[in-house]
Homo-oligomer: A and B are copies of this chain.
Amino acid sequence: MSMDLMIKKIIDMNSPVVAGLDPKLDYVPEFLQKECFDEFGKNALGASQALLKFNMALIDELCEVVPAVKVQAAYYEMYGIEGMSALYKTVSYAKERGMYVILDGKRGDIGSTAEAYSSGWLGKTTIAGADYSMSEADCLTVNPYLGSDGIIPFVNDCKKYDKGIFALVKTSNPSSGEIQDLKVGKNTVYEMMAALVDKWGADNIGAYGYSAVGAVVGATYPEQAKKLRAQMKHTYFLVPGYGAQGAGADDVAVSFDKEGLGAIVNSSRAIMCAYKKSGNEKDFAKAAKDEAVNMTKAINAAIGR
């Protein structure tokens, strides 16, 4: 079971950290940008090659200390078709190095269209009678504003192809409350969403007691996260908002269960740009690894592991 695979990696490496690969071109060391612009041109191809090389070097180091990477689709789509090519290659390379790969696309649509998204990222696409995998990602983030029939196609592919999803429940951004915190009787919209997410995973629960349908729960709202952890016993949390967005180890601790499982915490900028603090561009990948190790230690200390 896909979520079991992720949890086993978390336990084996003793790290509940997922490194976000959301590479703005500014994050890529200048020498690497220059190398790729010289070879491929000062254009989308050159930029995308720089992102890919940056990612591959990061993955080579990060695969030794963290179980997973989260690849944010937006930062590849912004470079057009060349960027998308770098995205697919980044996913493949992370898989090759043994990492669990979460594609952060926040996809979602009506049922038939959700099926198409799911075929593209989790399941398979049938062409002239044969089935093809288009992406090697283990897991996809989805936006469930459309309700069950927009999510069930992903849930079905989780079962059929042994994959996972994380559905948005309470997001980490400043204005997440505008819709998500609205009061619906005694509950909030995000608590109603949490109940749906819990239900979608109810019949696909793995060896650790967690289902294939996880939830995105921002670290920047620790009180809400604490309530959700109590509400959603079988739902793993993908926790953004640590580091650059302002949340610390204590803020994320509430998203874990008593065994120190239940959450995987993302950091993107702080890991990718760790080298900027030392000023040593060449050692960017080692700096990222050190930052990931420090983040792991800080969170493990906060959750008593």
Contact = CB atoms under 8 A, between A and B. Distances in A.
Interface stretch (A119-127, A205-213, A253-261): A119-127
A128 B42 contact: yes
A107 interface: yes
A279 interface: no
Contacts of A171: 110, 145-146, 150
A32 B150 CA distance: 31
B128 A37 contact: yes
Nearest to A111: B173
A294 interface: no
Nearest to A110: B173
Category for how many chain A residues contact B? 35 or more
A116 B175 contact: no
Nearest to A146: B171
Interface string A135-176: 100000001111111100000000000000000100111111
A14 interface: no
A43 B132 contact: yes
Q: Is the interface of A mostly helix, strand, loop or mixed?
A: helix
A109 B110 contact: no
Contact of A148 (B107, B146, B178): B178
A173 B128 CA distance: 29
Nearest to A43: B127
Contact of A150 (B109, B175, B183): B175
Contacts of A150: 171, 173, 175
B179 A192 contact: yes
A251 interface: no
B189 A173 contact: no
A231 interface: no
Nearest to A50: B127
Given A143-B106, A145-B180, A119 B175 contact: no
Interface of A: 22, 24-25, 33, 37, 42-44, 46-47, 72, 74-75, 77-81, 83-85, 88, 106-111, 113-114, 116-117, 119-121, 125-128, 130, 132, 134-135, 143-150, 168, 171-180, 182-185, 189, 192-193, 196, 240, 245
Shortest beta-carbon contacts, A-B, top 6:
A147-B175, A80-B134, A147-B178, A74-B116, A78-B120, A110-B173
